[in-house]
Structure 1
Amino acid sequence: MKVSFCIPTYNRVKFIEDLLESINNQSSHSLIVEVCISDNASTDGTEESINIWRDRFNFPILYQRHNENIGPDRNYLSAVNMGTGDYCWIFGSDDILTKNSLALMEDKLAAGSDIYLCDRRELDISMTKISNPHRRWLNGGSRLFSFSNEADLIEYFSKCNSVGGLFSYLSSIIVKRNKWSDVIFDESYIGTAYAHVYILLRIINNMNSTLQYISLPLVDCRGDNDTFESNGKARRIKIDFIGYLKLREDFYNNNTKIYISFGRVLTKERPWFYTSLAMACYGDSTDRAELASFYKKLG
């Protein structure tokens, strides 16, 4: 079984080495591993570090550097398209694998599910302080979800604690490469920050698909380093609403029950009271008006 770690990056050379080290240090597995790095025209020496890493680590590193920054969505897709494995583990370039993650995943991958979703542990930017030892994307323990009708989708969405259950967090996602490749991408999702979610929802909406939820933190998430907060916290909040409201409209507008169930996940992620307080602190009058319109759409 071959696993491709598909890593989109931009100016994170100081973190990528930690990720590669965490992959290299995995033991007690027989998976074939490759690393695919899609570089969004970094200016921090990422390209110059590739050959150093190739000499240091015992897995192949495929590297592609774009001549210009093509935006996060296209870079996510580019990273996965580089993969040649049976499965692609999409991975944020500042996160790392926890100990023995690959040994556990080897056992799970033998079942051949279309998508695997694992939990994460949350730390500070230096990866020394744990802020949350186990962030669970779904209620309940590990289980297999089989999607064959609308009731299966509604049940899955009802289990989601946040949009992490709807694939917002890259490093939790392991996907069968041929299933990903079969999806015809909708270009209107470029610029949403959730192009990858479109593809994954297409997979589970194609009935007879399977998703294995793994209620274990297989990933260490580096906190205080959200790329999408670079344009301000108000903008970061709006990204979730704009992206997931579009997904809901495009996928489920003709099915009221699924439409409502999907929307409830967004309100769990962004509850009205706390989100309104945050927007009052970080947003302006236009931001607050937009937020009100989002909640109106959610009912």
Structure 2
Amino acid sequence: MKVSFCIPTYNRVKFIEDLLESINNQSSHSLIVEVCISDNASTDGTEESINIWRDRFNFPILYQRHNENIGPDRNYLSAVNMGTGDYCWIFGSDDILTKNSLALMEDKLAAGSDIYLCDRRELDISMTKISNPHRRWLNGGSRLFSFSNEADLIEYFSKCNSVGGLFSYLSSIIVKRNKWSDVIFDESYIGTAYAHVYILLRIINNMNSTLQYISLPLVDCRGDNDTFESNGKARRIKIDFIGYLKLREDFYNNDTKIYISFGRVLTKERPWFYTSLA
């Protein structure tokens, strides 16, 4: 089984090495690993560091540097398109794997689910202070979701604690590459910051798909470093608001029950802001 770590990045050279180190330090697994880095025209020396990392780590590193910044959405898609593995683990370039994550994932991947969603641990920017030891995206423990009808989607959405359950957080997502590649992308999602969510929702809406939720923090999330909060918390909320309302309209406008269920996830995320959406 081959897993591609698909890493979109922009000016995060000081953090990427920590991520690569965390992959390199994984033990007790037999997965074939490759790393795919899609660089959004970084100016911080990322390109110059690639050969150093290739010599240092025991897995292949595929690298593509765009001549100009193509925006986050196209860079997310570019990173996944670089992958050649059976599965693509989409990964933020400032996060890291927790110990033994790959050993656990090897066991889970044997089941062949289309999407895997894991939880995260939240730390400060230096990765030394834990602010939340276990951020759970869904209520309940680990379980398999099979999507074959409207009721299955409603049940899944009802379990979501936040938009993390709706794939907002990159590093929690492992997806079967051929399922991702089968989706015809909608270009109207460029600029939303949620192009990847469109593809993942397309997969589970095909009604012949499976998602394995893993209620374990397999990822350490570096806090105080959200690119989309660089212009303030209000901008971050606006991105979520616009992106997820568009997804709801495009996917579920003709199905009232799913439309309402999807909207309720947003009210859980920011109840003081989305109270009119349920």
Normalising by structure 2, we get a TM-score of 0.98
- Match of 1:275, SS state, is coil
1:193 aligned residue: 193
Question: Does the CA-based 8 Å contact 2:3-2:89 persist in structure 1?
Answer: yes
> For the aligned residues, what is the CA RMSD?
1.6
| Identity percentage of aligned residues | 99
- How far the C-alpha of 1:276 sits from its partner, in A, is 12
Instruction: Give the direction of change, closer, same or farther, for the CA distance of 1:226–1:276 in structure 2 (3 Å limit).
Output: farther
* Per-residue Cα deviation, 1:170-199 (whole angstroms, up to 9, x for no partner): 000000000000000000000000000000
The structure having more radius of gyration, on CA atoms, is 1
Q: Aligned partners of 2:274 and 2:178: how far apart in 1?
A: 40
Question: Does the CA-based 8 Å contact 2:267-2:273 persist in structure 1?
Answer: no
Instruction: Give the direction of change, closer, same or farther, for the CA distance of 1:148–1:276 in structure 2 (3 Å limit).
Output: closer
Question: Does the CA-based 8 Å contact 2:88-2:177 persist in structure 1?
Answer: yes
Query: 4+ residue runs of structure 1 moved beyond 4 angstroms?
Result: 273-277
1:290 aligned residue: none
- How far the C-alpha of 1:231 sits from its partner, in A, is 2.1
Instruction: Give the direction of change, closer, same or farther, for the CA distance of 1:136–1:51 in structure 2 (3 Å limit).
Output: same
- How far the C-alpha of 1:153 sits from its partner, in A, is 0.1
Q: Aligned partners of 2:116 and 2:181: how far apart in 1?
A: 16
Q: Aligned partners of 2:78 and 2:146: how far apart in 1?
A: 28
- Match of 2:276, SS state, is helix
2:181 aligned residue: 181
- Match of 1:276, SS state, is coil
Question: Does the CA-based 8 Å contact 2:123-2:130 persist in structure 1?
Answer: yes
Q: Aligned partners of 1:131 and 1:39: how far apart in 2?
A: 29
Q: Aligned partners of 2:246 and 2:127: how far apart in 1?
A: 34
- Match of 1:272, SS state, is coil
2:67 aligned residue: 67
Q: Aligned partners of 2:103 and 2:47: how far apart in 1?
A: 30
- Match of 1:273, SS state, is coil
Q: Aligned partners of 1:34 and 1:53: how far apart in 2?
A: 13
1:41 aligned residue: 41
- How far the C-alpha of 1:266 sits from its partner, in A, is 0.6
Question: Does the CA-based 8 Å contact 2:266-2:274 persist in structure 1?
Answer: no
Question: Does the CA-based 8 Å contact 2:4-2:34 persist in structure 1?
Answer: yes
- How far the C-alpha of 1:275 sits from its partner, in A, is 9.6
Instruction: Give the direction of change, closer, same or farther, for the CA distance of 1:274–1:197 in structure 2 (3 Å limit).
Output: closer
- Match of 2:242, SS state, is helix
Normalising by structure 1, we get a TM-score of 0.91
- How far the C-alpha of 1:232 sits from its partner, in A, is 2.0
- Runs of 5+ consecutive residues of structure 2 not aligned to the other structure: none
- Runs of 5+ consecutive residues of structure 1 not aligned to the other structure: 278-298
Instruction: Give the direction of change, closer, same or farther, for the CA distance of 1:273–1:47 in structure 2 (3 Å limit).
Output: closer
- How far the C-alpha of 1:230 sits from its partner, in A, is 1.4
1:145 aligned residue: 145
